[in-house]
Structure 1
Amino acid sequence: MTLHRPHSFNRIVLVDFIFIAAFVPRFWEKLGSSAMQAVGFGAAISIEKLSWGESVLGGDAEIRSPGDCNDSLVKLRCGRNARVVACATSYSVPPAALTEASVLTRERYGFRAQSSVTTEPSERSFMSAEQKVFEVVQKQAAMVNEERRRSVMSLQDVRSHFMAGSAVNVLDEAYVRCGEVCAEYSKTFYLGTKLMTPERQRAIWAIYVWCRRTDELVDGPNASRITPTALDRWEDRFEDIFRGQPYDMLDAALADTVTKFPVDIQPFRDMIDGMRMDMVKSRYANFDELYLYCYNVAGTVGLMSVPVMGIAPESKATTESVYNNALALGIANQLTNILRDVGEDARRGRIYLPQDELARFGISDADIFAGKVSDKWRAFMKDQIKRARVFFVEAEKGVRELDKDSRWPVWSALILYQKILDAIEANDYDNFTRRAYVAKWQKLVSLPVAYGRALVPPPDALARLSR
């Protein structure tokens, strides 16, 4: 299974919560060429009408006004050192280490500016990658809370905008097609979705397919021809989906989904930004930069999916905490993929590891390209695996709070990805020449284990039952 070439959709999780299966050339036969048409390759008539003028936005990094952060999950104290406290991690970092993380400017990269870390004078406050991410989490949680308060949904049905007359039949066919793609490329996850209600099942399939199509733009057969402007075109097309103007039947499935569930548009935009990062960035100075990347390509899927999967009615957990846990699972799975694929990424000239931490262990880029499994490398890997497991522990708290029909596929993916870390250790931390994988028999055994965990209600509900 090879799905990493830059670390992108291989690390996208939570729709597949790892999207276990790999891409194969037949994928485009299944989906057709519409995704490439949308960005200008083999374009259909409707696409040819689009202007291909430069769509690059201004390159200045976003500057936040000074002031205290009132985020309930992240607190920022200004001064010589800032202490960032998040749901799963707590660490101190100097402002200088963060000011350039993930600031994508026109001067550096040539595409629309996106800043998660504000470049400001030392006396002013700055925004870390985690703060940006948790702002998105809070927004999504607020949407879901509002949705829970509504007794009736009065959202527009996109079907009337897609195709007159046969709209319903076409939409049904679109969902069936999405399910077929999910079944072909992620059998384990697809099996788990069969326990969901039909409406949730179809919605998850639609999100899954959009994420795969997005990744194919930078990881597919035409990836070498994709430009930043082409990704901008794909984002414009995506914006049309949220406006109820789908381009093809697969888009229509997602457009219908976002009218039925309180799904926020921002995580989708952020995923596209993750694809942009992969086009231009092959090193990460520190964990703050890597965290933002992991969020963009993996954590975003959790924010897309939790509104569909649902939170158990008997859960007493806050909506924000469940989303934070879903985000933690995305980060954990992405870090696991990175640790598994170090050798393969190095052969492509990419190192998805914090440069400052490598330096602290006395490891250079040359050592990684040479594939040296030294004592220093083993110590470094132990430290990285420990961090990934911390995120997995945090993620487990949220899986328990999901709706009972949605827990099984999530538990399955979580268990399987934890076993990848075990396999790296079993290989004596040689992730240069040996690939860590989960054997088929282990996958089969994990399914009933995951199913058993899925039957356990949220902790608070379980405590009430035991009284």
Structure 2
Amino acid sequence: MAVAPAAPAGLPSLQEAYEACRRETAEWAKTFYLGTLLMPPAKRRAIWAIYVWCRRTDELMDSPEAQGRPVPELAARLDAWEQRTRALFAGEVCDGLDLVMRDTIERYPQPLQPYLDMIEGMRMDLTTSRYADFDQLYLYCYRVAGTVGLMTQEVMGVDSAYTSAPWSDPPDTSEAAVALGIANQLTNILRDVGEDRARGRIYLPQEDLRRFGYSEAELMDGVLNDSWRELMRFQLARARDWFARSEAGVRWLAPDARWPVWASLRLYRGILDVIEALDYDVFNHRAYVPTAGKMLDLPRSFVIAQAR
């Protein structure tokens, strides 16, 4: 086994680096963070590290500092990030995030490819601001979010009850893990329609806009009419279907991961209910599940998690 290169001087301690990831996750992903607190310490730290890596990747395109930058500059940033990610998986460490990511990869071995796929998803935002149909949108959702399921499935682990017998083949949780990422990204898209239009992006498939007789100009103007409501009902049903697909894989997970995954799944899916309660007005309101609603749902998620 190759020895990883020595870390540069001046890095934070591993504990300090994980604490920085915890704080960032708590600040920027409140619902997600709540789910991680239900995990054992080692698993929650790994999830925080992966979350922050994903956030850093997203910031290359969508941070305030990145807005308005020329495409070649953003492309160069993504190229540099890809090279740094490849180096990270080869054992090189540049900062505190690299430090916790290396520790996570050593504890929970995983492939490089999902990380490269996510970077490729960011590249799509350089050249694509419209999606002709759901097949095109699916590829984007896989790259920017379905990959998260693949990054975290080794951390979640599989229930030993399904693998302890000599004749047992470990269940493949990849399909469900990707489905949950797709569901989460579709929810993000529906919640953020108003914000994305300000960036000149429309993620709702063009064929769906035509199907429900709602124009791009109306979307840009934030028009609320019956066509918009029918379009949104269709989109919410699609997102809920992807959440339903993901549920089948939760039962395979290690017992200490089932409750947090169920909690995160149910709470994030709850954003769809809030969009409905707002009468689909995502132009003037941001849909979120109130803290009280999150707290009330945790016991329900716990009960569901106990059944295989």
Distance apart, 1:259 and its partner CA = 2.4
Which amino acid letter does the alignment assign opposite residue 192 of structure 2?
D
* Percent identical: 53
2:56 to 189, 196, 213: 213
Structure 2 vs 1, CA of residues 431 and 319 (structure 1 numbering), >3 Å: closer, same or farther? farther
Query: 3-state DSSP class of the match of 1:162?
Result: coil
Match of 2:96 among 249, 253, 277: 249
2:14 pairs with one of 171, 174, 179 = 171
Is structure 2 residue 280 aligned with structure 1 residue 429? yes
Deviation at 1:356, TM superposition (A): 1.4
Check whether the contact 1:404–1:457 (CA below 8 A) recurs between aligned residues: no
Pick one of 256, 270, 288 that aligns with 1:419: 270
**Where is the helix percentage greater, Structure 1 or Structure 2?**
2
The residue type paired with residue 95 of structure 2 is: D
Q: Distance in 2 between matches of 1:441 and 1:379?
A: 30
Tell me whether 1:298 sits opposite 2:141 in the alignment. no
Matching residue of 1:441: 292
Structure-2 change in CA distance of 1:197 and 1:432 (3 Å): closer
Question: 103, 119, 122: which is aligned to 1:275?
Answer: 122
Residue 199 (structure 1) aligns with? 42
Cα distance per residue 1:333-377 (max 9 Å; x no partner) = 111111122222223321111111211222221121122222222
Corresponding position of 2:23 = 180
- How far apart, CA to CA, are the structure 2 residues paired with 1:285 and 1:242? 35
Cα distance in 2 between the residues matched to 1:318 and 1:353: 39
Structure 1 position 332 matched with structure 2 position 171: no
Report the Cα offset of residue 310 of structure 1.
Answer: 0.6
- Distance in 1 of aligned mates of 2:85 and 2:99: 11
Q: Which of the two has higher C-alpha Rg?
A: 1
What residue number does 2:65 align with?
Answer: 222
Q: Matched residues in 1 for 2:171 and 2:3: separation?
A: 28
Deviations 1:48-95 (A, max 9, x none): xxxxxxxxxxxxxxxxxxxxxxxxxxxxxxxxxxxxxxxxxxxxxxxx
Q: Distance in 2 between matches of 1:172 and 1:195?
A: 19
Count of aligned pairs: 300
Q: RMSD over aligned Cα, in angstroms?
A: 2.4
2:222 to 371, 377, 381: 371
Shift of 1:302: 0.6
Matches within 5 A, 1:100-139: none
8 A contact 1:188–1:409 mirrored in 2: no
Whole-Å Cα distance in 2 between the matches of residues 191 and 365 of structure 1? 36
Secondary structure of the residue aligned to 2:122 is helix
Task: Give me the whole-angstrom Cα distance separating, in 2, the residues matched to 1:157 and 1:412.
Answer: 39
Contact 1:157 1:256 in 2 (8 A): no
Verify the 8 A CA contact 1:189 1:409 in the aligned structure 2: no
- 1:142-198 alpha-carbon deviations (Å, 9 max, x no partner): xxxxxxxxxxxxx6674x63258x99x833432333233333434554454344344
Maintained 8 Å contact 1:182/1:208: yes
2:288 and 2:45 mapped to 1: Cα distance?
A: 30
Please give the secondary structure, in 1, of the residue aligned with 2:6: helix
- Give, in whole Å, the separation in 1 of the partners of 2:212 and 2:31: 38
Deviates more, 1:237-246 or 1:445-454: 445-454
- Report the equivalent of 2:160: 313
- 1:278 positional shift: 1.6
**Structure 1 length normalisation: TM-score?**
0.59
Unaligned runs of 5+ in 1: 1-154, 459-467
Of the three residues 219, 226, 235, the one matched with 2:82 is: 235
Rounded to whole Å, the distance in 2 between the matches of 1:351 and 1:334 is: 14
Corresponding letter in the other structure for 2:113 = Q
